[in-house]
């Protein structure tokens, strides 16, 4: 939750006048999103989200992200759509940063997802995978198996200061993932970060997906594994099999998982848990003094990882062939 960049008055005025959205009535920084600065802008034409991309987002990736949102929206996925200025540009500059304005989505994210939310998000994820099939641009997943060891090495051997024994588990998992990571599964555009705060519901129905800034080209089943970790565990660290079954069944109702994907699910879930454990561990160990964002607890994903290490096959997630 943060706004990192203050926009000078005159620059903001000139920026907004470059769009055909009428007079600006309000602009408020939003206390959501940890990577970028987000503002809710109200104009005569409606509501918009203005994003200033801070340094953790590579400017070279922005055409992929903005193009993807536009592609998905055209295919009927409810997601923010980039607004083009009078010259047709969606990607612009503001306050010295890359900036874009997107349409506002109604809905709220669910703090405590229930099984019906998991079913809905599973189905929406499958629709996203199908809708992205003919998107022309590709983007490598910067946070897949070959990126994990370099990330871990940046933690400087300090994992055990967070939890005794953590370093040994991580090293074991890195080795296992490097040996056994699946390669030949169906691929395409994945969201890669579809946590509850990126999924909006309205009146009990899923109303939209947001935050495509980790989207990339990778295995669909890995995206499913990310959602299993993000949606189906209880606060005490145990898997809720009812929610997992709902998520997987929801997904399968739109895009049935193949046998190879089902077989790979435990390994993908371990890898996905390791990925979030490592990024959170890195953030935890490197949070600067005076940071505006409280780092997320890496141990939440340590607990999930331990669960997945105990799993024999995908039936542990409520899935039956």
CB 248 within 8 A of CB 261: no
Rule CB under 8 A: is residue 24 a binding residue for a copy of itself?
yes
- Between CA 157 and CA 154 the distance in angstroms is 8
Q: How far is the CB of 29 from a copy of itself (least distance, A)?
A: 4
Rule CB under 8 A: is residue 290 a binding residue for a copy of itself?
yes
Rule CB under 8 A: is residue 32 a binding residue for a copy of itself?
yes
Kindly identify the residues of this chain, within the stretch 169-228, that bind a copy of itself according to CB under 8 A.
202-203
Q: How far is the CB of 127 from a copy of itself (least distance, A)?
A: 22
Rule CB under 8 A: is residue 108 a binding residue for a copy of itself?
yes
Q: How far is the CB of 49 from a copy of itself (least distance, A)?
A: 9
Q: Is 154 helix (H, G, I), strand (E, B) or coil?
A: coil
- Rank residues 39 and 65 by Cβ distance to a copy of itself and give the closer one: 39
Rule CB under 8 A: is residue 47 a binding residue for a copy of itself?
yes
Rule CB under 8 A: is residue 45 a binding residue for a copy of itself?
no
Q: Is 258 helix (H, G, I), strand (E, B) or coil?
A: coil
- Rank residues 105 and 169 by Cβ distance to a copy of itself and give the closer one: 105
- Between CA 25 and CA 9 the distance in angstroms is 14
Query: Which residues touch 100 (CB under 8 Å, ≥6 apart)?
Result: 50, 51, 53, 62, 66, 82, 83, 90, 91, 92
The residue written with tokens 């079954």 in the block is 245
- Rank residues 47 and 217 by Cβ distance to a copy of itself and give the closer one: 47
* CA atoms within 13 A of residue 69's CA, in its CB half-sphere: 26
Q: Is 151 helix (H, G, I), strand (E, B) or coil?
A: helix
- Residues forming contacts to a copy of itself in the complex (CB under 8 A) are 1-3, 6-9, 12, 23-32, 40, 42, 47, 104-108, 110-112, 202-203, 290, 292, 294
């Amino acid at each position: 939750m943060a706004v990192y960049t203050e926009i000078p008055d005159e620059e903001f005025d000139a920026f907004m006048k470059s769009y055909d959205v009428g007079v600006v009535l309000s602009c408020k920084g939003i206390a959501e999103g940890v990577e970028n600065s987000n503002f809710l802008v109200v104009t005569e034409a409606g509501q918009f989200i203005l994003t200033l991309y801070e340094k953790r987002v590579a400017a070279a990736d922005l055409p992929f992200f903005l193009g993807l949102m536009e592609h998905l929206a055209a295919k009927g996925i409810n997601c923010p759509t980039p607004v083009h200025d009078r010259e047709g540009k969606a990607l612009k500059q503001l306050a010295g940063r890359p900036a874009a304005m997107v349409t506002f989505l109604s809905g709220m994210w669910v703090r405590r997802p229930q099984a019906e939310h998991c079913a809905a998000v599973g189905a929406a994820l499958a629709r996203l995978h199908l809708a992205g099939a003919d998107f022309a641009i590709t983007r490598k997943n910067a946070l897949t198996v070959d990126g994990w060891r370099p990330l871990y090495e940046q933690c400087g051997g300090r994992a055990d200061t967070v939890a005794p024994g953590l370093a040994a588990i991580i090293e074991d998992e890195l080795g296992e993932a490097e040996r056994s990571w699946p390669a030949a599964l169906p691929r395409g555009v994945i969201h890669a970060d579809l946590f509850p705060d990126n999924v909006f519901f309205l009146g009990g129905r899923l109303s939209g997906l947001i935050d495509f800034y980790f989207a990339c080209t990778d295995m669909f089943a890995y995206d499913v594994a990310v959602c299993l970790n993000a949606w189906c565990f209880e606060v005490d660290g145990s898997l809720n099999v009812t929610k997992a079954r709902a998520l997987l069944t929801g997904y399968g109702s739109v895009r049935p998982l193949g046998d190879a994907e089902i077989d790979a699910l435990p390994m993908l879930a371990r890898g996905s848990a390791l990925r979030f454990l490592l990024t959170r561990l890195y953030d935890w160990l490197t949070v600067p003094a005076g940071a505006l964002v409280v780092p997320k607890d890496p141990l939440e994903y340590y607990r999930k990882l331990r669960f997945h290490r105990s799993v024999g096959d995908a039936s542990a997630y409520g899935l039956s062939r």
